[in-house]
Amino acid sequence: MARQGGEGASDRSRASEDEYFRRRDQELIEQTRRRAEEKATLERLAEAAGVKDEDIVRGLQQLGYAAEIVTSFRVLPLIDVAWADGTVSDAERDLVIAAARARGVQPGSLADRHVAQWLASPPSPALCDATLHLLGLTIQRLPPDERAAATGEVLAACRSVATAAGGVLGFHKISEREQRALDRIAAELQRETAPLPPADHRRADRLEESR
């Protein structure tokens, strides 16, 4: 009887080991699956954003940008300028939408809906700053002969939005608040070195929290 009891304990031990290794195999399979999904998600996001730098792509992801809406991140500085005076005029709205189309935001897409939402209600300053920072990094990663042109294009588009509303008899077309927004954007885009913000800061300023 003792031997049978010993055999029973041995069987239970083997069964426990088998269960352990089965669960371990399942965990490894699940980890592999998650890594493959994460890699595929990042690749889709990078392709949609037109960005190759993995750190920047991860930064966009941590801000809440998905592949379906990430084209809108290149429009956010213009929206920031449009809201500088507290309201968005029809002329400013038209320019922002035209710029969005030029940057790949298709009519009726999720990205287009995000742009419309930002034009209806201003995104948070934290999201604007974090997005601008990543856009600046994207430009800084370009070849030197392309960097100045890309910076100039963004600043020209922002300035066009700032002057769109106009002023009395054409004077004072750019307000002090708009000029401050333009100066802040120019300083970020023209910064020599701009490391990514800490990961916890990026998580705190997610896109959905700007609504």
Specify whether 41 is located in the same domain as 55: no
Residues 95 and 161 reside in one and the same domain: yes
Give the tokens for residue 143: 């070849």
- Whether 13 and 116 map to the same domain: the answer is no
The reply to whether 34 and 72 lie within a common domain is: no
Among the three residues 31, 49, 67, which one is the final residue of a domain in this structure? Answer: 49
Domain extent, residue 12, equals 1-49
Q: Are residues 44 and 68 in the same domain?
A: no
Say if residue 74 is in the same domain as residue 127: yes
92 and 155 assigned to the same domain: yes
Same domain as 68, residue 14:
no
Residues 23 and 87 both lie in one domain: no
pTM, to two decimals: 0.75
- Same domain membership, residue 112 and residue 33: no
What pLDDT score does 124 carry?
Answer: 95
Q: Which one of 16, 34, 49 terminates a domain?
A: 49
Question: What per-residue confidence (pLDDT) applies to 34?
Answer: 66
Q: Domain count for the chain, please give it.
A: 2
- Please count the CA atoms within 13 angstroms of the CA of 135 that sit on its side-chain side: 28
Question: If the chain, 211 residues long, is cut into consecutive pieces of 10 residues, what is the mean pLDDT of each piece?
Answer: 57 69 68 69 88 92 93 96 94 96 95 96 95 94 90 95 72 82 94 56 49 46
**Same structural domain for residues 14 and 105?**
no
Do 65 and 42 fall within a single domain? no
**pLDDT at site 12:** 66
